[in-house]
Copies of this chain bind each other. A is one copy, B any other.
Amino acid sequence: MNIGEIARRSGVSRSTVSYALSGKRPVAEETRRRIQAVIDELDYRPNAAARALKEGRTRTIGLVIPPASQRLTDVQLGFVASVVDAAARADLDILLSPSGGEHDRSFERVVTGSRVDGVILMEIRLEDDRVARLRRSGLPFVGIGHTSRSDEMTWVDIDYETLMARCVRHLADLGHRHIALVNRSAELVAAGYGPSHRAQLGFTGALAERGLQGVQVCCADDAQAGRSCVERLLAAHPELTAIATINEAAIPGMYRALTHARLAVPGDFSITGVAARHWAENLHPPLTAADILADELGARAVELLIQRISDPDAPFRHLLVAPPISLRETTGPARSRADRP
């Protein structure tokens, strides 16, 4: 069922069929109709590989996600969903690559072999081999997140530094003097994960600005870890009255630790952070948090990638977003734990 078959059945040459389909040269209306009839009858569709081979582009973009074995956070899922959605609207297909370690076959396949016209890269570290690999390959790409050399590529990112500073200032305004930052896993932080690093900066910066005390801890990305982490925090730092966190996955466990310690939220203890809106709203009680607008960010990444593909020599562009904190039900005036009835 190839173009030759269509040509034969409609009594024209293969090139005429091609022109009838693409409209790149005039074709007599009568001829066009005849060809279309045959196409409809046989339900013909041009072979994508042949077209890609000749045209030198695939109308497909690669989306590099964290390895599937590792559970994605709601924010990450939001990125994926919005990228997929935006790509579909632009009539682009998405090739998914769960990229893990160093020499990942899936990543290699996507980056090399002219499989895609461009790549969107998620979960970027401050020093990221994949960025180097992509730059070497010459393939257009856009990061959701960025490395320590922020001008070496086009990216969109969440401004974790500003967001965390806002969380701290919000808590400070409520009278909290001793705040803990619960970061993401020690491995991520050690690996130079950008959001963790920038959240630290925002945290320490805002503490200094308000002359407050703070402790920072790492916590694996799951509820279990969140619970034991907070239990340890409460025991070691009786003066704490609030937590700020970027560790979405650990939050349910943190809630549980507080409940278990008979600390009412927000009466006795405040907690705030950065999370996907749905997630924050569905918590019990709903979390006061900076709502990450994953939808917008993913769509913008696709947009920027399309621009890069059409003009690979244009200067790199950057987009940093910092949504305001949505007040819900987990932050309130500070009350020393020692004062509790």
Contact = CB atoms under 8 A, between A and B. Distances in A.
Interface string A46-74: 11111011000010100101011101100
Interface string A92-105: 01111110000001
A341 interface: no
A252 interface: yes
Nearest to A56: B49
B48 A252 contact: no
A278 B68 contact: no
Contacts of A123: none
A252 to B, nearest CB: 4
Contact of A50 (B45, B53, B71, B256): B53
A322 interface: no
Interface string A69-88: 10110000100111011001
Nearest to A285: B256
A213 interface: no
A323 B256 CA distance: 27
A237 B338 CA distance: 45
Contacts of A109: 48, 91, 93
B68 A58 contact: no
A72 B81 contact: yes
Interface string A22-66: 000000000000000000000101111110110000101001010
B48 A67 contact: no
Interface size class of A (residues with CB under 8 A): 35 or more
Contacts of A63: 96
A203 interface: no
9 contacts: A43-B136, A49-B58, A49-B114, A53-B53, A68-B84, A72-B77, A72-B81, A93-B97, A223-B282
Contacts of A47: 53, 113-114
Interface string A221-232: 001000000000
Given A68-B84, A68-B85, A93-B115, A49 B52 contact: yes
A67 B81 CA distance: 9
B284 A113 contact: no
A252 B72 contact: no
Contacts of A80: 68
A150 interface: no
Contact of A106 (B72, B93, B136): B93
A60 to B, nearest CB: 7
B45 A112 contact: yes
